[in-house]
Structure 1
Amino acid sequence: MLPDPTLPSVRVEPLPYETRLEARPLSQVDLVVIHCTELPDMAMARRFGEEVLYPASGTGNCGHFYIDRDGSVHRYVAVERVAHHTRGYNPRSVGIELVNRGRYPDWLAASHQTMDEPYTGAQIAALETLLRHLQATLPTLRYIAGHEDLDTTEVDATDDPGQRVRRKRDPGPLFPWPTVLQAVALERLGA
């Protein structure tokens, strides 16, 4: 029997607080949000994901899946749980983080808003496979968005409080939206 091409090889590596995240019925998931980690590597993304930022629940900011530059897919949070990755959209969405330095380490500096690291072919191929798998297993999945499409908040720049910068710019200008949208039957939300 041939392997299912819609099922990616996923390394299941639950965050320490995964079981504290709210459970949800899969029928409420209709959206995938694409992020970039804005960190230099997978190890730092893991450390940031493990940080407890919400003492009342003992949880932090995290996506469900992380895709490294080599195309390896890591699941930090089960899809049946609500991960904290996009304000206002978490209960209905799956968060997918692509390892990419983005604006690291000066995320909110007006002088450092260029996102110039391209995504690797292996990352995009793994993302497309994961998206097709999610479509096959989540019948209500209809939409896809970038974090920047949904969180358009502006804040004072850290290096010049007289300037405003976008709080979230991921996945950024180098994310290949036309390629990804052609590979999956999902409608882009918020663009």
Structure 2
Amino acid sequence: MTKNKIKEVAYRHLVEKGYERTTLSSIAKEVGIKTPSIYAFYKSKEDLFIAVYKDLLQDNHRHIKSSIDNLSNGTVKEKLYQILKAICDYHLSEPEKTAAYMKFTFFLPPTLNDEVRKTFSEIEDMLSQMLKGIFSEGIRQGVLKNQPIDDLIASFLCLMDGIFLELLYHSQEEKFKRRVEQTWSIYWNGIYND
């Protein structure tokens, strides 16, 4: 209970104040414990931050995975599109978590960059495994052009990154959704084996 409460309060402080201005003492005070008690659960402020960051990424991944699980009998095209749609839906419906994700990913002290990259890579690897299955299925069925799976995964991850940046640049939801549809159409035509 205390461990989760520490993470919950830390998340709020990190979002509101940023990493540099968040202190373990302010977190401990709000939780109702003494600062040294945090060390029973987390080795350091960095360790606590990484735990909060990992939770945020896993929440996003769970959302994507559950939307794909609901399409277990879908076509390859439907599954790939559903991943993009799930990401868009998640970020549109969770603006606070999206803002936190941005802050945690792009506005950190350089000393945390390696750990953040490592944590991000772990989650990306889980998504890559999911994509590997979908792309392999598509090639086996002859729906997709026979290309190296790693290339297909890399291109899809870059597509996801681009769509995420579009979301940040376009505050109008309709314009953003139109861009996603346009981009998806071009992407699918590039990998589809017609």
TM above 0.5, yes or no, is: no
- Higher alpha-carbon Rg: 2
Structure 1 or 2: more strand by fraction: 1
Query: Normalising to structure 2: TM-score of the pair?
Result: 0.29
Length-normalised TM-score, structure 1: 0.29
Higher relative contact order (CA 8 A, sep 6+): 1
* Structure (1/2) with the larger helix percentage: 2
